Amino acid sequence: MAKSRLASIRWTLLLSLVILLGCLVVPGLTVKHENFKKCSQSGFCKRNRAFADDVSAKGSSWSSPYELDPSSIEFKDGKLQGTILKTVSANEKVRLPLVVSFLESGVARVVIDEEKRLKGDIEIRHNSRARKERYNEAEKWALVGGLELSKSASLNPDTETGFTKVLYGPDKKFQAVIHHAPFNVEFQMDGHTHVQFNNKGYMNMEHWRPKVDGDTEEDQSTWWEETFGGNTDSKPRGPESVGLDITFPGYAHVFGIPEHADALSLRETRGGSGNHEEPYRMHNSDVFEYELNSPMTLYGSIPFMQAHRKDSTVGVFWLNAAETWVDIVKSTASANPLSLGVGGKTTTQSHWFSESGQIDVFVFLGPTPQDISKTYGELTGYTQLPQHFAIAYHQCRWNYVTDEDVKEVDVKFDRYQIPYDVIWLDIEYLDDRQYFTWDPLTFPNPKGMEEQLDASDRKLVVIIDPHIKDKDGYWVVKEMLNKDLATKNKDGEVYEGWCWPGASHWVDCFNPEAIKWWTSLFKYDRFKGTLPNVFIWNDMNEPSVFNGPETTMPKDNLHYGNWEHRDIHNVHGITLVNATYDALLERKKGEIRRPFILTRSYYAGAQRMSAMWTGDNQATWEHLAISLPMVLNNGISGFPFAGADVGGFFHNPSKELLTRWYQAGIWYPFFRAHAHIDTRRREPYLISDPYRAIISQAIRLRYQLLPAWYTAFHEASVNGTPIVRPQYYVHPSDEQGFAIDDQLYLGATGLLTKPVVSEGATTADVYIADGEKYYDYFDYTIYQAQKVPLLMQGGHIIPRKDRPRRSSGLMKWDPFTLVITLDKNGEAEGTLYVDDGETFDYQRGAYIHRRFHFQASTLSSEDLGTKGPKTAEYLKTMAGVRVEKMIVIDPPKEWQEKKSATVIEEGTRTASTVSVEYFSQTGGKAPYVVVKNPNVGIGKTWKIEF
């Protein structure tokens, strides 16, 4: 193996002493399959799969009916336009406008629409008011930038007839090769094809046609009406799906397209051993008791896929908000000289199809995973830099039953010295399930409760869902109906369905007026009983409708602008989050703080406004295990502020499982314990020792590393990198590590952990990809250690705060510790980002961003920030925050005699001396040096010479 090296580290786990105590067997429940469609029960899925099968069966005797009319092609200012003709019969050709945009970022975008529908030249059945165009507003919700057209993209003059070639991207290293007939596109980098459209010939644009009664040649059984589970979809526009095959030649792994409870490296979906039988489905749904290792849909969708092979990552983003399925098939070419450079390599073919809308696909050619994160983030936005409290520990359950209950939990955390930042209220705080109210009997004094929390700088999150109870005298529903802001049914009347409150209506956040009104509801004088330390949880926003088809809204419901629910379904959730985000920005004039919202449903772009969690998991080991690939997958898919219910939502975890879940949960970017109403109370102080002590230690470890976490969040917020990173992302050359999804790195810190996710485990193997040294976090053993498997890769400087406190807010002015893990060459570097953790002042320079570097026996801190109008004032507030300790791990041998080091800080005229102590260790543990109280400012430029 070239440079990479496999080392297996065996850990003895702290819990092994106690695993035999407190075991409880929890039955795993499983989803009701009959409530959700299989591909064969979804008309367009069935049709597209059958089409692909038919095309494959015909082989070379078949040719795709789509061709680009050469006389229509125009290229100007980075944009190619033309018309694709779909041959339907000898005398019918359907015109499909094509636009290929070459963006300044190096991304290419291919959009295909249908001329007749664009012109409104179709008839809609059942007198429906539904729009005639194909839905083209998904970008309104998903995209925020990155669309600037390339100034340098140009036609390649050296092109054969029958092709159009466009050179684009950085240094024109990329080329789009468009074959006219049949229409297909190859995206090349450095002369090799990395992404292909329609080379299998599965492209399918179901054009509009009138319904003809009587016998027809084609099987029309799924064209006009579809019934599932007693609900009939009237399909006023008939069949209108879009489909395309996208191939990644030479790429064996594809990742992404969350949300699925499955491995990180996606499986094949056309059957065979270890493969799925069903395509991966994206149709945001409230899937009760979801199953694992499954391509079934879940609550959120990000139709963004990355393909990875040694040293190259490419990707596609399928911008379509309708129900979407993706088939994946892999094939391995035999290694012969004619196989055009992919001999012996595995190729992955994906086949995408959506029920309606346009074909709208972005192509990313990397070649690094970081390039993909960056350019995808330019389009859909980067992770919001959350308020600092939001990255600490959240305590939730369904439900804390009274305001006194909340206050007592708060006091108990302190009594047991377990830090936490946020306590949550689920739907039982409401008066009769009416949002924006409080149950007067159980929560008579919400402000008193919030004030107590605020005294320890703690927050409250309350749930607000999009279904509004239909009840006489309820002011919210009255206002919504009076202002005509609710979603309509197919006949244009206010839609009514069932959810927690019983009969309900849904706010239609596609309507700008609805956003304005929703915003008004959160003002302190309207949502009475809330103080500034109250934040929001948007749940059930798929939307979940208990009596709706597949537990959601009928597809022929109508939204603002007469778009059918079918067209917008997967962005529905984020339209609510978008409105809530605006609302939290404007609760009071002048009070501008970063909103915090947790959402269950999501789409590309949700990362700009919210955090997500993986919904209603179960207290089983398997659910604990799957949470890691799920969180990692969200991270590489642009939405890294992700977590799973710690402890498992349904059922009661054993003590061992709960403890292991906390030890794993501290590595979720969003770290929240939550539990179903029928479960026993399980606040961490309730569990007996030694579990309580182990859980407290885990939570404290999270708090100790908050500076590193916040720095990783900051990085995500400026360049899209995941907050926790899978193996392939950190070691893109190490082929053996590509499918590993049970261990993770925290940001760029070099901290590598492998949570324990199996019952009774007493050892764990950690996979090491490189030849670097790895030190145990706790005792600096090189390669072998005890306790939680947590390693520090050599070559990093990790910022920490070591003083235990009750909440992260109380740590604000605490001094820092820097842990310096030297690499093989005796060097290390790291970064730290700090700001007020609350406001947007960082956008005006109120932050500290440092690079720490250790080289040639000198540790230095350099400024990475740029000055803004608020810099000086902020630095003044931070002047007293200093570094209280530095630990240099595995220092040069000569340091044994070292007693002091020289400190030079900017702005001080003379150098000072600081004492240094060397600790030698035995038994494979690295020696280390402690610098006590070097007393350098965290916001200052300084140097320490050893």
Residues at the site binding ligand NOJ, with contacts judged by CB under 6 A: 398, 426-427, 463, 539, 600, 615-616, 674
Using alpha carbons only, how large is the chain's radius of gyration in Å?
29
Task: Provide the minimum distance between the beta carbon of 499 and ligand NOJ in the complex, in angstroms, as a whole number.
Answer: 10
Minimum CB distance to ligand NOJ, residue 600 (Å): 6
Cβ–Cβ under 8 Å, residues 722 and 635: yes
Query: Please, are residues 641 and 611 in contact by the beta-carbon 8 Å criterion?
Result: yes
| Residue 616 or 735 with smaller CB distance to ligand NOJ | 616
- In the bound state with ligand NOJ, the residue whose beta carbon lies nearer, of 139 and 426, is 426
Residue with Cβ nearer ligand NOJ (616 or 742): 616
List the catalytic residue out of 233, 259, 542, 890.
Answer: 542
Residues 746, 667: Cα–Cα separation, whole Å: 8
Q: Where does residue 860 rank: exposed (0-12), middle (13-18), buried (19+ CB within 10 A)?
A: middle
Could you tell me if 659 and 15 are in contact, meaning their C-beta atoms sit under 8 angstroms apart?
yes
What whole-number distance in Å separates Cα of residue 211 and Cα of residue 67? 26
User: Active-site residue 470, yes or no?
Assistant: no
CA 883/CA 899 separation, integer angstroms: 19
Question: Do the Cβ atoms of 259 and 613 come closer than 8 Å?
Answer: no
Nearer to ligand NOJ (CB atom), residue 206 or residue 616: 616
Distance, CA of 481 to CA of 668 (rounded, Å): 40
Q: Name which of 539 and 829 has its Cβ closer to ligand NOJ.
A: 539
Q: Taking the complex as a whole, how short is the minimal distance between the CB of residue 580 and ligand NOJ, in angstroms?
A: 16
Buried b (16+ CB within 10 A) or exposed e, 446-457: beebbeebbebb
The smaller minimum CB distance to ligand NOJ, of residues 426 and 836, is found at 426
Measured between alpha carbons, how far is 110 from 939 in angstroms, rounded to an integer? 46
Q: Is 113 a catalytic residue?
A: no
Whole-angstrom CA distances from 570 to 249, 298, 299, 632 are: 29, 11, 9, 21
* Smallest separation (angstroms) from ligand NOJ to the CB of 616: 5
Contact in structure between 937 and 879 (CB atoms under 8 Å): yes
**Which CB sits closer to ligand NOJ, 386 or 615?**
615
Instruction: Tell me how far, at minimum, the Cβ of 77 lies from ligand NOJ, in Å.
Output: 47
Q: Reading across the β-sheet that carries 497-499, which strands appear in turn? A: 467-469, 502-506, 497-499
Is the Cβ of residue 142 or residue 261 nearer to ligand NOJ in the bound state?
A: 261
CB atoms within 10 A of CB 592: 13
3-state secondary structure 605-632: CHHHCCEEECCCCECCHHHHHHHHHHHH
Q: What is the DSSP letter of 680?
A: P
User: Is 287 or 716 the residue whose CB approaches ligand NOJ more closely?
Assistant: 287
Q: Is 259 tagged catalytic?
A: no
Location of structure tokens 């963006």:
103
Task: Output 228 or 398, the one with its CB closest to ligand NOJ.
Answer: 398
The pair of structure tokens assigned to 770 is 């490189």
Please give the span between the terminal C-alpha atoms of the chain, in angstroms, as a whole number: 38
| Nearest by Cα to 400 from 425, 434, 363, 437 | 425
Give, for 768, the enclosing helix (H) or strand (E): strand 763-768
Catalytic residue among 262, 539, 564, 841: 539
| Catalytic pick among 186, 550, 616, 776 | 616
DSSP class per residue in 779-812 = T-BBS-EESS-EEEETTEEEEE--S--SSGGGGT
Residue number, 630 or 764, with CB nearest to ligand NOJ? 630
Identify which of 467, 454, 476, 246 has the alpha carbon closest to the alpha carbon of residue 362: 246
Min dist. Cβ of residue 298 to ligand NOJ (A): 11
Quote the tokens at residue 248.
């990644």
Identify which of residues 535 and 928 has a Cβ nearer to ligand NOJ in the complex: 535
Please state, in angstroms and rounded to a whole number, the distance separating the CA atoms of residues 872 and 878.
10
C-alpha 292: how far from its chain's center? 19
Q: What is the DSSP string of 137-181?
A: -HHHHH--S--PBPSS-EE-SS--TTEEEEEESGGG-EEEEEETT
Q: In the complex, what is the shortest distance from the CB of residue 702 to ligand NOJ, in angstroms, rounded to a whole number?
A: 21
What's the rounded Cα separation, in Å, for the pair 722 and 746?
A: 9
Answer left, alpha or beta for residue 235, where phi above 0 means left and psi between -120 and 50 means alpha: left
Residue with Cβ nearer ligand NOJ (265 or 551): 551
By beta carbon distance, the residue nearest ligand NOJ is: 398
Closest among 821, 812, 788 to 698, alpha carbons compared:
788
User: What is the distance, to the nearest Å, from the Cα of residue 472 to the centroid of all Cα atoms in its chain?
Assistant: 40
- Least distance (Å) from ligand NOJ to the CB of residue 447? 23
Q: Which residues contact 610 (CB under 8 A, 6 or more apart)?
A: 384, 538, 577, 581, 597, 598, 599, 602, 641
Q: Residue 539 CB, nearest distance to ligand NOJ (Å)? A: 5
Rounded distance, CA 735 to CA 265, Å? 12
> Annotated active-site positions, please?
539, 542, 616
